[in-house]
Amino acid sequence: MQQEQTPQQNQQGFEQIKEAAQKAEQAAEQTLQVAQEIYSQATEAALTEAEQQLQDLQGQIQQAQQKTEDLKQELQTTQDSKQSQQQQTHSSQSHQSQ
């Protein structure tokens, strides 16, 4: 047979439940704080990584632009040289025919 609990026993049971609930709430708050900290660190790490990748890409773009300029200069020099040779050849042919 089950005995009736006294009001004092009921109160003790209630206090234990209340204490357990408070501990659970504290644990949940701590878990939330840790989760927020981890999220913050992960976000910061991802942002740092993205910034590094952006800097790398900007460097690659600058290198490509410099290479393009170098190739333009090289092409211009080659064209100028060919044009100069053609003028010299044309000029010497004109002198020979006279």
Residue 89 has pLDDT above 80, yes or no: no
The per-residue pLDDT for 95 is 66
What is the spatial distance between Cα 36 and Cα 30, in angstroms, rounded to a whole number?
10
What is the spatial distance between Cα 66 and Cα 46, in angstroms, rounded to a whole number?
30
The confidence band for 98, taking pLDDT boundaries of 50, 70 and 90, is low
Average pLDDT over residues 84-90: 80
User: Between these two residues, 46 and 9, which has the higher pLDDT value?
Assistant: 46
Contact yes or no for 13/5 (Cβ under 8 A): yes
The confidence band for 96, taking pLDDT boundaries of 50, 70 and 90, is low
